Amino acid sequence: MKKVLCFGDSNVYGFVPENAKRYDKNNRWSGILQNLTQNKFEIIEAGCNNRTGFTDNPAGKEQTGYKILPNFLEKDLDCVVLAIGINDLQKFYNVNEDDIKIGIEKLIKIVRSHCPDAKIIIASPSKIKNNILNSFFASMFDELSIKKSDLIGDLYKKAATENSCYYIDLGKIASVSDIDGLHYEPEEHRKIADVMFKTLCKIFEF
């Protein structure tokens, strides 16, 4: 059985846009993935609300991706999915395109330093919707954040190619909710889980 770490933010955790609760394992993509994989893969869920990937989050280590990632990197991991980065686009951090590409590459290097034989899947986040500006998250994201979210896919794809990682563009698979413009609803989680499962099977030739 292959061990797969799914490391990311609130969309890995399973944040519910309607009420800020957590989807159960049958409705969040990392949980659905475990159900799909049956006895082929052991899925380790490591999502956290408001976690950034490569910028220093004032909330602390747990919410700062590059600082907490090593805690999850067991030597016997076969694959690491990095599904993170949308929170780095919050207006407080003021990241540019170079910051985004260099940032995801920082996470790749951390994985390789702890698990040199593990396969890495870079999953770029879906574009933020404009209605986020009328939601609770308007205090965190602005119009520039939305524009940057339209660029992150190409930047992640380039980083994945240059660093011999696998790449999945979640923006071509799933759309975020009209409720908050940031998080997925159950049907979108199912779409992501399905593509992730097919990708894992292809990588490991199942």
Tell me the per-residue pLDDT of 59-68, one tens digit each, with 9 for 90 and over: 999 999 999 9
What mean pLDDT do residues 70-88 have? 96
**Can you say how many angstroms the Cα of residue 64 is from the centroid of all Cα atoms in its chain?**
13
Do 108 and 165 contact (CB within 8 A), yes or no?
Answer: yes
Tokens of 100: 């985004």
**Can you say how many angstroms the Cα of residue 82 is from the centroid of all Cα atoms in its chain?**
5
Q: pTM score, two decimals? A: 0.95
Write down the mean pLDDT value for the chain: 96
Provide the number of structural domains found in the chain. 1
Give helix 97-114 / helix 152-162 axis angle, nearest 10°. Answer: 40
Domain that holds residue 28: 2-203
d(CA 89, CA 87): 5
**Can you say how many angstroms the Cα of residue 133 is from the centroid of all Cα atoms in its chain?**
22
State the pLDDT at residue 51.
Answer: 98
State the pLDDT at residue 39.
Answer: 83
Mention every residue, 6+ apart, whose C-beta is less than 8 A from residue 179: 17, 18, 135, 185
For 89-139, write each residue's pLDDT tens digit: 999 999 999 999 999 999 999 999 999 999 999 999 999 999 999 999 999
Which residue in 19, 48, 41, 43 sits closest to 29, CA to CA?
A: 43
Tokens of 168: 């999945």
For 11-32, write each residue's pLDDT tens digit: 999 999 999 999 999 999 999 9
For 167-196, write each residue's pLDDT tens digit: 999 999 999 999 999 999 999 999 999 999
Which residue in 204, 116, 98 sits closest to 155, CA to CA?
A: 98
pLDDT of 206 over the 90 cut: no
State the pLDDT at residue 185.
Answer: 97
State the pLDDT at residue 72.
Answer: 97
pLDDT of 75 over the 90 cut: no
**Can you say how many angstroms the Cα of residue 116 is from the centroid of all Cα atoms in its chain?**
20
List the CATH number of the domain containing 89: 3.40.50.1110
- Partners of 4 in the β-ladder: 43, 79
State the pLDDT at residue 43.
Answer: 96
Q: Residue 146: how many CA atoms within 13 Å on its side-chain side?
A: 14
pLDDT of 205 over the 90 cut: no
Residue 110, SS3? helix
